[in-house]
Chain A
C-alpha cells in the first residue's frame, strides 16, 4: 500500500507547481517542517521524546543567517550542507550529555538546552539581532541570482527532494539492524546491553542524525522566510514538532509528511476563517484527532487500506462491516 502511495504522493507534489501556484509557499513550509518532525519520529522509535529539537532547528536557521551576513555571497548548494553540519555538531555536543538520561529527564534536558540557546539568542542582540531576529539574505542557487518568485519555486523543489530523500533514507535506516536496535532500546534496554550493544552510543548516533534533520529544516524555513528569530528555539516550537509527529503517526516515517501537512493546513485555514481563535480551533481539532485516532493520521490511512473487501465488494462489503460492528457492540 505505502509502496504505491508514497511515490504517487511525491509525483503529485512534484507536478503541482506546474498546475497551480497558490499553495506553493505553504507546501514549502510543510516540507521544511516535516524534516525536524522526522527527526522526532526517529527518536520516538527508541521511546524517547525530545522537547528541545527547536534548538537544532534554530542552529540551522542562524547558521544560514550568520554565513550570509558575515561571509557574504555563499551558494545555497553550499549553505544547506553547512547548516546541516552545524546542527550535527550541536547535536553531538548536546547528545553526549542527554543520551545518559531517559524519558522525562531526556525530554526536560533537551528542553533546558533549547531554552538556554533561546535566551542567548535573545540577550546577545549585538551578535544575533535580539528579538528582532537576523535577516537571512537570499542566496544564489548554482551561481544564479533569482527574484523572489523564482527562488520560492526552486526552494519548493529543493525542499521536496530533500524531504523525499530523507524519508527514504530514514525508512531504510529503521529497517536495518541498527534501526531495530533502536526499537529494542524502547522495549528493554538492559537486554540490549546484555547483547553487547551500547544503547547510549546507538542513541547518540540517532540523536545526531535527528539533529541534522532538524537543522536542515530550520535552514530551509529561514532562507524561505528571509528571517531567523530566537522564537525558533523556544520550547513551544519543540512541543509543536512532537505534536505533529504524534498527529501524523510516529510508527511510520510518512507520519512526518502527513502530520506536517495536516498541521500547517489546519493552522492556515483556522487563521483565515476564525482569526483570533485560530490557536483554539487548532487545539480542539488536534485534541479530537488524538482522542479518536491515537495511532495518528497515517494509522487511519493504513487501516482504510487494509480493510478487506474494499473496492471490489463495494457497498455490500460496507454493509457487511457495519453489521459486524453492530454484532460487536451487542
Chain B
C-alpha cells in the first residue's frame, strides 16, 4: 500500500469524520435527553450549509476576506439553531412528548418534508460552492502529501472542542446537570423544581445548532445541493446507532470509524462508498448489539 495515498485517506477520513461527528452528536444528544429520533435533523445540516454558502459568497463580493467567513458560519448556525430549532421544539415537539414513539417519528418526518421543500423553494436545485475559508487557511504538507489546513487541522480541532465542550457542559455546569437530571428521571427532576421544558428546549436548540454548524463548516469543502440533508441524516443515524444511543464519546469514535471507512472506500473501492458506513454499523452491532458505548437495559418482566 502506498504511504502517501494512505496519508491522504487518513486526512480525508478524519476531516469527514469530524463533520459527521458534529451532526451526529447533536442527534445523539437530542435522542439521549428527549427520546426523540429527529428525522428533520439532516434538514438543519442542509439549511446551515445553504445559509452559510450564500451569506459568505455574498459577503465575499463585498470584499470580506476568506477567513472572516468562519465567524459568519458560527453566527449563521446559532441563528438557525435558535430560530428553526427553537420554533420547532416550542410549537410542535412540545405537543407530542407523551405520545408513542412512532408518532413522534412521524411529526419529525413531516417537518423534514416541509424544510426540504422550503430549502428547494429558496435556493433552487443548482449547486452552490464557496471555498473562501479553505484558501484563506492555506495548506499543510506531511510526508510529501499536501492537504488543506482547513480539513487537516481546523475541522478536527472544532470537533474536539465540541466534544470536550459538551462533556464539560454536561458534567461541570449547572445547566448541564439539569439536563442530565431530566434525562435520568424526568418526574423526579420536576419534583425537585427543575423546569424540564426549558431543559428540552435548550437541548434541542444545541442539537440543531450543531447540525447547522456541521453544514456550514462542510460548505467550503463540497458543493451544496439538494439531497445533502437526507444523505447526512442517514449517516448520523448510522453513527448514533453504532455509538450506542445517547453516547457522546461513542459518537466521536463511531464518526471517526465511519469517516475513515468511507474515505478508504472512496480511494480504493469507489463503488462501495455509500455502503461502507452501514457495513461498519452492521459489524459493530453484530458484536455489540447495544452499540459501542451503549448500556444493556435491564429486562423487566
Contacts and interface: CB of A to CB of B under 8 A. Distances in A.
Contacts of B275: 115-116, 119-120
B116 A101 contact: no
Nearest to B286: A97
B120 interface: yes
A290 B31 CA distance: 21
A194 interface: yes
A108 B239 CA distance: 10
Given A109-B282, A115-B274, A236-B230, A290 B118 contact: no
Given A49-B102, A276-B120, A115 B230 contact: no
Interface residues of A, number: 48
Interface residues of B, number: 47
B300 interface: yes
A279 B109 CA distance: 12
A66 interface: no
Given A113-B278, A235-B234, A246 B114 contact: no
B172 interface: no
A44 interface: yes
Interface string A270-292: 00000011111011101100110
Interface in A170-188: 188
Interface majority SS (helix, strand, loop, mixed), chain B: helix
B238 interface: yes
A16 interface: no
Contact of B301 (A188, A234, A287): A188
Interface in A250-305: 250, 276-280, 282-284, 286-287, 290-291, 294
A235 B230 contact: yes
A108 B114 contact: no
A236 B103 CA distance: 16
Interface stretch (B1-9, B91-99, B155-163): B91-99
Contacts of A224: none
B274 A112 contact: no
A40 to B, nearest CB: 10
Q: Which of B110, B245, B300 has the most CB of A within 10 A?
A: B110
Nearest to B244: A105
B195 interface: no
Contacts of A113: 278
Given A104-B241, A118-B274, A279-B114, A246 B106 contact: yes
Given A112-B282, A279-B113, A283-B111, A119 B274 contact: yes
A100 interface: yes
A111 interface: yes
A101 B289 contact: yes
B185 interface: no
B68 to A, nearest CB: 34
A22 B113 CA distance: 28
Nearest to B245: A104
A310 interface: no
Interface in B89-141: 92, 95-96, 99, 101-103, 105-107, 109-114, 116-118, 120-121
Contacts of B237: 108, 111
A239 interface: yes
Contacts of B249: none
A148 B105 CA distance: 40
B39 interface: yes
A100 B289 contact: yes
Contact of A115 (B105, B117, B278): B278
B149 to A, nearest CB: 32
Nearest to B282: A112
A6 interface: no
A286 B101 CA distance: 17
Contacts of A236: 230
Interface of B: 31, 37, 39, 92, 95-96, 99, 101-103, 105-107, 109-114, 116-118, 120-121, 230, 234, 237-238, 240-241, 245, 271-275, 278-279, 281-282, 285, 289-291, 299-301
Closest 3 CB pairs of A and B: A119-B274, A279-B117, A283-B113
21 contacts: A101-B285, A105-B241, A105-B285, A108-B241, A109-B281, A112-B278, A112-B281, A113-B278, A116-B279, A119-B272, A120-B275, A235-B230, A235-B234, A242-B102, A279-B114, A283-B114, A287-B107, A290-B106, A290-B110, A291-B96, A294-B99
